[in-house]
Amino acid sequence: MTSTDTGQRRRGTDVRPVITDLMDEDTILAVAGDAWISLVGEDEVLVPIPGDLPGDVLSSWVDVVGPWTGSVVLTTGRATAEALSRALLRETAPEVLEVEDVEDAFGEIANVVGGSIKAALPGPSGLSLPQVGHAPLVRNPADVCRVEVLWRGEPLTISVQGALPPLPVPSS
Amino acid sequence: MKILIADDSRVMRQIVIRTLRQAGYDDHDIVEAEDGADALAKVGSESPDLILSDWNMPNMTGIECLQALRAQGSAVPFGFVTSEGSAEMREKAANAGALFLIAKPFTEDTFREHLDGVIA
């Protein structure tokens, strides 16, 4: 049996949600707040006030692959990432933190925040292992939901950003 | 009781151990494993009474570890402590024979809720 491609089907599959169709900043703040209380400490709060990130920043992120595909990226100053790592390690924190300690702790925060974000998105989706380094580039500015917070007065951003370029705009 | 904690994150293993203590389970031997393969080997060498495992780990995931254990005939009690808390993952975990799934982020209350009756 043959079928005629009218373009209707193709246009149908081209409908891809952007993150702002699926969640808002309040959801990200709630998810991050719960992660902070659990991992960092009961009295640790994230204040939703923007701040200027320093020049030396570090990012940690996990990728979500599914009906929506992208990354959940935390970015903060390197010194703040180290302070976060110490807060997670508490009494087991070494006197001098190794790079691996910061990658482990800061990555784990991204893992927990990303896992909760993934659970709030349509599934089924896969979740990657956390990565730490330079944040992945924003591919489509319309597919980003971003919050800016202060932790202990230091700025930190959480960006839920699509990994795919924008869909082409039909010519007619 | 001997509890095996499998997570590729050292800091998360520390947090799980700390939360166990805060939840009142502070009189148990703890064994750590850094991925599913390590956990599988340590079930053989350490004979734990309970496994608390992450899901996403390099080398061997938590669910692969659980499936390998059951395939070997091991009935060691197994629960997940993971950021994968969706209904789909909970169903997969239960179908593979997990007793429970504790989603990260967790609190000591979450631990008590799932572990009372499991940890003697």
Name the residue ranges covered by the structural domains of chain B.
Answer: 2-115
Q: pLDDT for A85-139, tens place per residue?
A: 999 999 888 889 999 999 999 999 999 999 999 999 998 999 999 999 999 999 9
Whether A170 is in a domain gets the answer: no
β-pairing, B2-6 vs B29-33, is: parallel
Q: Which CATH architecture has domain B2-115?
A: 3-Layer(aba) Sandwich (3.40)
Taking contacts as CB-CB distances below 8 angstroms, the residues of chain A near B82 are 115
The residue type found at A156 is L
CA B9 to chain A, closest CA, distance in angstroms equals 6
- Identify the band that residue A13 occupies on the pLDDT scale cut at 50, 70 and 90: low
Cα–Cα separations (whole angstroms), residue A150 to A103, A115, A144, B8, B18 = 21, 22, 20, 29, 26
Look at residue A3 and tell me whether its pLDDT is greater than 70.
no
Whether the CA torsion A8, A13, A16, A21 is positive or negative: it is positive
Mutate one of B7, B9, B63, B111 to test the A interface: name it (highest A CB count within 10 A).
Answer: B9
Q: Taking CA atoms, what residue in A is nearest to B58?
A: A129
Cα–Cα separations (whole angstroms), residue B83 to A16, A172, B5, B35, B86 = 25, 45, 15, 15, 9
- Identify the band that residue A1 occupies on the pLDDT scale cut at 50, 70 and 90: very low
Whether A9 is in a domain gets the answer: no
% of chain A with per-residue pLDDT over 90: 79
Q: Do B105 and A101 touch (CB under 8 A)?
A: no
Whether A4 is in a domain gets the answer: no
Look at residue B3 and tell me whether its pLDDT is greater than 80.
yes
Q: pLDDT for B40-69, tens place per residue?
A: 999 999 999 999 999 999 999 999 999 999
CATH number where A66 lies: 3.40.1550.10
Whether A7 is in a domain gets the answer: no
Q: Residue B33 belongs to what H/E stretch?
A: strand B29-33
Domain count, chain A: 1
